[in-house]
Amino acid sequence: MGIEVVVEGLTKSFGKQNIWQDVSLTLPAGEVSVMLGPSGTGKTVFLKSIIGLLKPEKGRVLVDGVDMVNSPEKDIMEARKLFGLMFQDGALFGSMSLFDNIAFPLREHTRKKESEIRRIVMERIDIVGLLGAEEKLPGEISGGMRKRAGLARALVLDPQIILCDEPDSGLDPVRTAYLSQLLIDLNAQIDATMLIVTHNLDIAATVPDNMGMLFCRNLVTFGPREVLLTSDTPVVSQFLSGRREGPIGMSEEKDAATLAAEQTLGNGYAPPGPRTVVPQLEPSPGLPVRQGALRRRERVQSMMSQLPEAARAAIRNSYTPTLGGGRL
């Protein structure tokens, strides 16, 4: 089972530029979470801070008893072995075959024999659907295949936490749909805690158990997917609907005068009405039930009274068919 990740009061700046401040959230063990946000809001910086590749100025990231911000470097290095990281561009070595790229972490960080390495690598290649392509170079395959190879490499050390940095970037909608299903199937098979950073609304609507959003140097919200997907918060509503009217501008947030002018002209950013929450993806036929989804259901049931009514209605609607007409 995956490991819970607790983020407390995280603040990160580069020089005088504050990227985000006082971010607190918990990634539940074995569940799939998504972090949304417009371009330039520090989503990738957040991922790198969780795994200890960047050092925030304040706060803690607790992983299996280790603080990835403040603990001794040797403890952070050991805890980092619990993670698998899928980079935005795949980050593959161009002169190595896919097999050697995927085998690289095993050869670098373990003393396994080549026969064992081959078994593990071929298993991961099979999981991501790349059997037959293992001897190809990264330059000889499509972007989608490179993404899957990067995911296979992230899996070879049996991580309990998987971080995916914009796995959809450069992919067409069909390949994005295949990748979304692959992530759900992967979670069903290995029960790892997963955090996906993206601004792709299709992934956001169908993949996660939980969703958050970064904007204007703050965490707007984080919680069960239905909370964000039914939110009437202006920035969330604008982002999910892809409209120009609202707080998000071309560079970052709009100033007060621009927002006031939009509303004066009748182009306010009130939500267009109740938003339909589409069903979450299920594992492919033949795969086990996602244990993270079962744990998530119990967790959400216990917090129903704290959620907005629109989110409660969406949750009841999503679970009703599996309850034989009963209600949460």
Q: Where are the extended beta strands (E) located within the chain?
A: 5-14, 17-27, 32-36, 58-63, 66-67, 83-86, 161-165, 193-197, 210-215, 218-224
Q: How far apart are the first and last CA of the chain?
A: 26
Query: Closest Cα to residue 19, out of 29, 28, 10?
Result: 10
Exposed/middle/buried for residue 74 (C-beta within 10 Å: 0-12, 13-18, 19+): exposed
Q: Residue 204: which of 185, 225, 178 has the closest Cα?
A: 225
Q: What is the pLDDT of residue 5?
A: 98
3-state DSSP assignment of residue 52: coil
pLDDT at 303: 95
Backbone φ and ψ for 250, nearest 5 degrees, come out as -65, -40
* Residue 298: predicted pLDDT: 95
What pLDDT, on the 0 to 100 scale, is given for residue 142? Answer: 87
pLDDT at 104: 94
| Amino acid 323: pLDDT | 43
Bridging pattern class, strands 58-63 and 66-67: antiparallel
Give φ, ψ of 92 to 5 degrees.
-90, 150
Rounded to whole angstroms, how far apart are CA atoms 150 and 155?
9
Q: What's the pLDDT at 326?
A: 44
pLDDT value of position 328: 53
d(CA 141, CA 173): 18
The residue extents of the domains of the chain are 5-224, 231-271
pTM for the model: 0.88
**pLDDT for the residue 170:** 81
Please report which helix (H) or strand (E) contains residue 175, including its range. helix 173-190
CATH code reported for the domain at 5-224: 3.40.50.300
Do residues 108 and 117 lie in contact, with contact meaning Cβ atoms separated by under 8 Å?
no
pLDDT along the chain (328 residues), means of 10: 94 92 97 92 92 95 96 94 84 91 92 95 93 94 88 93 90 89 94 94 93 93 95 89 82 56 52 72 96 95 94 89 47
Alpha-carbon torsion angle 78, 83, 87, 93, nearest 10: 60
Task: Of 111, 114, 145, 118, give the one whose Cα is nearest residue 129.
Answer: 145
Of 271, 273, 254, 272, the residue nearest 262 (C-alpha): 254
